[in-house]
Structure 1
Amino acid sequence: QARFLVNPGQEHQDAADRVIQYLSHTKHRALRFGGPGGLTVASVASFADNTLDRKSSQAYTIRLFDGLVGWRASKQDTVTTSTTEAELLALAQAAKESLYVSRLLKELTVQMDDPTIRIDCDNTQTINLVTAEIATLKTKLRHVDIHNHWLRQEVQRGRIQVNYTKSTDMIADGLTKALPAGKWNRFLYQLGLEDIQERQQQSRKQEGIEAKLQKTEDCLGNAGSTGTY
């Protein structure tokens, strides 16, 4: 939506209204935490999906204790010429953000089960480029080549580990494309978003019961302390 602030039309207004309606309908959803204490990251790119300028979309998610602590979906600044180049740029962004989160957690003295950051990627060629002993990226884009060498460096130093994940299991995939209802609900489950409305109602009910019990105890206490002279 921010791309169309200069000259918005009715279709952009309708899209903004849909966002507000969605937020209203999902206001009772909350993130679930509870799991292993390592950082797990998912990185994905949608190659040349913007029909106006053929730039690719990219997204990542960062999870800690099996709960979502960071996420972003954006359009890449450069037009890439292959899926591998687009995936490399997305992977580099995810790695940089996750390394920052890792340093922040270290300063906060948060104990993690494994200090190595695991990043899921659904493109085998991209994984080979950053993990194989001998791998060459044929590209004329200098910054893509630089990102490739930087990622290889971080992998060799043991700071990050890039693993293959099927596209159907890729959590971040839902941030780069529209999904039908069934897949969207699965995406929300993968993110750890749960409807806590029933839990909130039970909590309020319990609080009401406890308040009544406390009031009854106070009344009995006052009655017992009152004497006749």
Structure 2
Amino acid sequence: MKDLGNLNYFLGVHVVRTLRGLHLSQQKYIVDLLLKFHMHTCKPVRTPIASHTCIALEDGTLLSVPIEYRNMVGALQYLTMTLHDIAYEVNIVPQFMHAPRTTHLHYVKRIFRYLQGTPTHGLFLRWAGFPDTRRSMTVYAVFLGSNLISWRAKKQPTISKSSTEAEYRAIAYIVAETTWIHHLLSEYGIYLHVCRNPAFHDRFKHIEVDFHYVRDKVSQGDLLVKYVPTRLQVADIFTKGLSFSQFSFLHDNLSVTTSRPY
């Protein structure tokens, strides 16, 4: 084994080491994408999607050549590794790959316009429901201290009968995720107080499973559920279009920063 020195570039991710931590960005990849799809001269926008935007399946007219849309959407997937502020939008646009329309292409291009204004943004690691399917979203953000280490924005596999059912399903996902992280960290000698007998589920069959799973964790003292006001819901950036002020506030709380010196 050979020591190659400090990490600078790996799989398209630029790594900058500072006194406070590591900054991970994909600036070169973004610049290359903008050039490839002729978006390098576009006018930047401050958010990747407009506030209160609702994208429907049959908005606009069918694209005569859908390959451009599919290529653009496919290229965006890799960016969510360091730019989780576009996770919601990148989760939405692939749902129209089979029959993309002019409106869908407009939304994809808006994501590129957002990237045009934020090419140096990346993840900083410090030391230490839809109109066509009516399915709810499971979204969460997991922090270890001030570092965002896991996040998810995905449509739930089944339709929930109520918001309570959708919320219990989402909570069950995050409890399973944090349980898995606990065991992963214990492999490195970092021990946290989580459950003793975890169950790893990527999906649950019905609400009763979610309810009892979460209730058991609460009764055991392994899980503390607190009310969080809407303004402070960090995961909202994964679920909908926001005003610039709210988007900027949540964006900052997710440790997405520029590559400026610290």
Residue 5, structure 1, aligned to residue 97, structure 2: yes
Residue 14, structure 1, aligned to residue 106, structure 2: yes
Distance 1:73 1:90 in 2: 10
Residue 92, structure 1, aligned to residue 172, structure 2: yes
Distance 1:23 1:93 in 2: 30
**Aligned in 2, Cα 1:54/1:108: closer, same or farther, shift over 3 Å?**
same
Distance 1:104 1:18 in 2: 37
Q: CA deviation at 1:183?
A: 0.8
Q: CA deviation at 1:90?
A: 0.8
Residue number in structure 2 paired with 1:66: 146
1:49-198 matches, within 5 Å, as: 49-110=129-190, 115-116=193-194, 143-197=206-260
Secondary structure class of the residue paired with 2:190: coil
Count of paired positions = 162
Secondary structure class of the residue paired with 1:154: helix
Distance 1:18 1:93 in 2: 31
Greater shift, 71-80 or 14-23, is seen at 14-23
Greater shift, 16-25 or 185-194, is seen at 16-25
Q: CA deviation at 1:116?
A: 4.4
Equivalent residues of 1:59, 1:72 under 8 A apart: yes
Distance 1:172 1:60 in 2: 5
Letter in 1 for 2:105: Q
Secondary structure class of the residue paired with 1:151: helix
Residue number in structure 2 paired with 1:219: none
Letter in 2 for 1:166: P
TM-score (norm 1): 0.63
Equivalent residues of 1:116, 1:161 under 8 A apart: no
Secondary structure class of the residue paired with 1:14: helix
Q: What is the root-mean-square deviation of aligned Cα atoms in Å?
A: 2.4
Which segments of 5 or more consecutive residues in structure 1 lack a partner in the other structure?
38-48, 118-140, 201-229
Percent identity of equivalent pairs: 27
Distance 1:96 1:20 in 2: 34
TM-score (norm 2): 0.56
Secondary structure class of the residue paired with 2:226: strand
CA shift digits 1:142-191 (9 cap, x unpaired): 61111100111222333322222112111111211100111110011111
Letter in 1 for 2:138: Q
Residue 26, structure 1, aligned to residue 88, structure 2: no
Letter in 2 for 1:2: P
Distance 1:116 1:189 in 2: 28
CA shift digits 1:91-110 (9 cap, x unpaired): 11111111111111111223
Secondary structure class of the residue paired with 2:134: coil
CA shift digits 1:49-70 (9 cap, x unpaired): 3121221122100111211111
Residue number in structure 1 paired with 2:87: none
Secondary structure class of the residue paired with 1:163: coil
Greater shift, 18-27 or 85-94, is seen at 18-27
Distance 2:239 2:207 in 1: 20
Secondary structure class of the residue paired with 2:98: coil
Distance 1:60 1:142 in 2: 20
